[in-house]
Copies of this chain bind each other. A is one copy, B any other.
């Protein structure tokens, strides 16, 4: 219940009261960019709290899934698929290796690139996170409504693909 509903914001006080304050959002109310950010932030926070319960960080989740589905993927391919800079991946991969969730081997044919693979422990952790993510998705689906879900997803994909 954090953030905008187009009219104002709702704040929770410590005693459990809620105070509504009317805020004028001006053009932000009908601009896609702002609302996209607010929605993503809210969804991310929710998933973040959820995945904290199982002791994992949300960023690890997409990474593990992509490695599981593309065994032997390189870090650069992974960073592209994940939409992050390759340098952001360095500490993540290090952490996952250290905790024994993935393994990383130099390629024979090209000794610059690594091949990443899940370990059995990694598969177990991924299964746990996937269940957690499915609950999160059900929550999102409830808000979006099944009828509009497909269209909504299509538009998101187009934005990711066609934005310059």
Contact = CB atoms under 8 A, between A and B. Distances in A.
A121 interface: no
A139 interface: yes
Contact of A25 (B3, B40, B81): B81
A21 B9 CA distance: 44
A148 B153 CA distance: 12
A31 B135 CA distance: 11
A83 B2 CA distance: 7
| Chain A residues touching B, majority SS | helix
B158 A77 contact: no
A158 B77 CA distance: 34
Please state the number of chain copies in the assembly: 2
B83 A25 contact: no
A2 B80 contact: yes
Contacts of A44: 33, 37
Contact of A26 (B2, B37, B68, B152): B68
**Closest A-B pairs by Cβ, 9 of them:** A40-B40, A38-B160, A39-B159, A42-B163, A26-B69, A35-B156, A24-B69, A39-B156, A9-B80
28 contacts: A2-B80, A2-B83, A4-B83, A4-B160, A4-B161, A5-B160, A9-B80, A11-B80, A21-B80, A23-B77, A24-B69, A26-B69, A30-B153, A31-B133, A32-B144, A35-B160, A36-B43, A37-B83, A38-B83, A38-B157, A39-B156, A39-B157, A40-B40, A43-B159, A43-B163, A46-B164, A143-B163, A144-B158
